[in-house]
Structure 1
Amino acid sequence: AFLSLLLFRTTLAHENGMDMNMDHGMSMNMGNVIMYLHFTPGDNLWFLGWAPRSVGSMVGTCIGLFMLAIAERWLATMRSIMEESWSTLAEIASTNNINASIVATSPEKCPNPSPKVEQPSRNPLRRRVPPFILSHDVPRGIMELAIASIKILFMLSFMTFQLGFIFAIILGLGVGEALFGRY
């Protein structure tokens, strides 16, 4: 106990000459962030220099967010369509591989077929996990990267508590779903 107390005391006394004060060069005030829902212009959107202060710049920003929300729904629809196509192509490739193995081991190819050789099942079980196909999985990853990035930008927009931004995103997502959701 005495040894640990001695080590603890020497650790406290040894600063390495560094100023352990963390206040230098950094201000923690929140600036002009309004922490409640509001329509007041002037909030920073994503960048320090992008702070729409006039009514016209607010309308332009809201139109941009509206269009970005529609684009996000379009990307999600494109991914859904691509997933369906990739699933069909992977199933066809898997079936072709199974058929090729059945043809390669068929009794017609063997000169003296043994009566005890079991025939492969004509209805093989379906794979539960799709195979890794580079031409499918790389675009899938890129699509997810784009969709996730847009969703993070939406989250940052919501964190401004600016109702104009929030309504523009929600309306854009609704319109985008109405346009592309049926595919």
Structure 2
Amino acid sequence: MDRTGKSDSGSSSMTTMGMVFVKAQNTPLYSKAWTPSTTGGYASTCIFLLILAITSRMLLAYRTRLERSWHDKAINRRYIMISGQTEADRERQAVGKGGEKTEVAVLTANGTDERVKVVRSAGRNLEGKPWRFSTDLPRAALFTVDSGVKYLLMLAVMTMNVGYFFSVLAGLFVGELAIGRYTGAGEGHH
């Protein structure tokens, strides 16, 4: 390869892109079709990125709220245990292994069945939660949408356009200022 960037055969050229910020208002965003040609188009693109960044923070806050709701439901979910235990065994388990809270329940049409017990999780040990379609499908879908928005923001910043960069930062700032209190500490920070 010679100094001009052409290979010895001269059939292809190599271009290099410096990693510097640019101020050009005609920087393409996501595709060549989205290349602002006017100042208004550039401003609209920057406003879009601002709104997209705010949406990113909103999705994180919504996801955090859903996770808390799902966690609370898992804590309050009751499990039925049937055993042929003695009264002493039931008293020991009423205190519970792992901090479980238990209640003796009436679950039969013929009256009290002392072999049936309803156990409620104490919430501290929910790592082994069972897979649930009603929880895990929305969790995965929301995670995918949130990740997609964050990748779009990342691609906008990678254009090295100053206006796009500051639009993303401004949107993240406004989003965090408005709804940051609804996200958990340390969640979703890049």
- Distance in 2, matches of 1:34 and 1:63, equals 26
Work out whether residues 37 and 162 of structure 1, in 8 Å CA contact, stay in contact via their aligned partners in 2: yes
Contact 2:47 2:167 in 1 (8 A): yes
5+ residue gaps, structure 2: 1-9, 99-124, 183-190
The reply on whether 1:121 has 2:93 as its aligned counterpart is yes
1:90 aligns with 2:65: no
What TM-score, normalized to structure 2? 0.68
| Corresponding letter in the other structure for 2:170 | L
- 1:148 corresponds to which letter in structure 2? S
Correspondence 1:38 to 2:38? no
- The corresponding residue for 2:83 is 105
Contact kept in structure 2, 1:66 and 1:169, CA below 8 Å: yes
C-alpha distance after superposition, 1:112-135 (max 9, x if no partner): x5x8x7336223323433221111
Q: Does the 8 A contact of 1:46 with 1:157 survive in 2?
A: yes
Which structure carries more helix by proportion? 1
The CA distance in 2 between the partners of 1:75 and 1:177, in whole Å, is 11
Q: Name the structure 2 match of 1:15.
A: none
* Deviation at residue 28 of structure 1 after TM alignment: 5.5
Question: 3-state SS of the aligned residue for 2:93?
Answer: coil
Structure 1 outlier segments of 4+, above 6 Å: none
Residue 35 of structure 1 deviates from its aligned partner by: 4.1
SS at match of 1:152: helix
CA contact (8 A) 2:54 2:175 kept: yes
Counterpart pick for 1:67 among 48, 51, 58: 51
Q: Which structure 1 residue ranges, 5 or more long, are not aligned?
A: 1-22, 108-112
Letter matched to residue 38 of structure 1: V
Q: Which residue of 2 aligns with 1:131?
A: 130
Letter of the aligned partner of 1:121 in structure 2? Q
Q: Distance between the aligned counterparts of 1:147 and 1:163, measured in 2?
A: 24
Q: Superposition pairs for residues 18-57 of structure 1, below 5 Å?
A: 29=15, 35-57=19-41
Q: CA deviation at 1:152?
A: 0.8
Larger radius of gyration: 1
How far, CA to CA, are the matches of 2:126 and 2:56 in structure 1?
31
CA pair 134-163 structure 1, distance change in 2 beyond 3 A: same
Deviations 1:35-71 (A, max 9, x none): 4112111111001111112211111000010001111
Aligned length: 145
Q: Is the 8 A contact 2:49 2:167 kept in 1?
A: yes
1:34·1:161 contact (CA, 8 Å) conserved in 2?
no
With the length of structure 1 as denominator, give the TM-score of the two structures: 0.70
Residue 105 of structure 1 deviates from its aligned partner by: 3.0
Percent same amino acid at aligned positions?
Answer: 29
Aligned mate of 2:42, from 43, 53, 58:
58
Instruction: Using CA pairs under 8 Å that are at least 6 residues apart, name the structure with larger relative contact order, 1 or 2.
Output: 1
